[in-house]
Structure 1
Amino acid sequence: MTRTEKNKKKILLVEDEPIVGRLCTRILNAEGFEVDFVPDGRMAMRAVENTDYDLCVSDIRLPGLTGIELYERLKENKPELSLRMIFITGDTMNVNVRSFIQESGIPCLMKPFTPEKLVAAVKALLE
């Protein structure tokens, strides 16, 4: 393993839309990040048991375990990762979700977002 590979920041991407997940993975890989892409919150929790991630990018609406529920579980089990989380969503946010986003301070990107916005949000949290 080269020095560069060891120093790559590792990102967990949780997205149930395969096309969006693959596109985000390609964008982040092109910026030098290592990305593990999983389609739901339960798989994300299994992934964090085995891997130390530097950042988590998660859709809010996910099957089984929502992005907000994932955040709450990370807060309990991996508090350092819960502080480095970005939400993405294509939904109109209801009052409860909007309130949660405002209170938690977690950055949220509205779909469709540009590659530049995704990369900027990731880099801002990793600095």
Structure 2
Amino acid sequence: MVVQNASMKTALVVEDQPVIARVCAKTLRGEGFAVDLAVNGTVGCRMANDKRYDLFVADIRTPEMNGISFYRHVELAHPDLAHRVIFTTGDVLSSEIRAFLDEIKPGFLPKPFTPTQLRTVVRQTLQWGAA
């Protein structure tokens, strides 16, 4: 169990693939985050309503509620955090996903990605959000 202190950053990973969720969690913990996991956007929305997060890493394609709908929820419920969502997907050719990513310009990682690539995008996202 990770003990969270008041100054520890928090991250929510919305990912239905357990291996990818574990890699994200391990990488984020290495960056000083306390990490929670959600298996889909519906669970992620409930968790985001119950707890304040500093960063979100969300797969665009999850069951029940996809990452796009999850982002829309964050955008409405926590507009100050909408720029702190990093998306992952293996479906980079879909016109719907392309249009969405072009519209909001979030952090983005095409699958498969390495822990180093995730760390880089996390740092860029946090720097951009602090500017």
TM-score by length of 2: 0.89
Task: Quote the RMSD (CA, aligned, Å).
Answer: 1.3
Letter of the aligned partner of 1:32 in structure 2? G
Quote the residue 2:12 is aligned against: 12
Q: Is residue 48 of structure 1 aligned with residue 48 of structure 2?
A: yes
1:51-102 per-residue CA deviation (whole Å, 9 max, x = no partner) reads 0001111000010111001111111111112121100012243112101101
Quote the residue 2:35 is aligned against: 35
Within a 5 Å distance, the mapping from 1:1-127 to structure 2 comes to: 5-127=5-127
CA distance in 2, matches of 1:104, 1:36: 24
Question: Would you say how many aligned residue pairs link Structure 1 and Structure 2?
Answer: 124
CA distance in 1, matches of 2:106, 2:89: 13
Letter of the aligned partner of 1:60 in structure 2? I
Where do 5+ consecutive residues of structure 1 fail to align? none
- 1:93 match: secondary structure: coil
CA distance in 1, matches of 2:40, 2:113: 20
CA distance in 2, matches of 1:37, 1:89: 17
Kindly indicate whether the alpha-carbon contact (under 8 Å) linking 2:14 and 2:37 is maintained by their aligned counterparts in 1: yes
CA distance in 2, matches of 1:82, 1:11: 13
CA distance in 2, matches of 1:74, 1:93: 24
CA distance in 1, matches of 2:37, 2:87: 14
1:26-68 per-residue CA deviation (whole Å, 9 max, x = no partner) reads 1111221111111110110110111000111100001011100
- 1:62 match: secondary structure: coil
Where do 5+ consecutive residues of structure 2 fail to align? none
CA distance in 1, matches of 2:31, 2:83: 22
Letter of the aligned partner of 2:40 in structure 1? D
CA distance in 2, matches of 1:123, 1:6: 20
Kindly indicate whether the alpha-carbon contact (under 8 Å) linking 2:10 and 2:54 is maintained by their aligned counterparts in 1: yes
Shift >2 Å, 4+ stretches: none
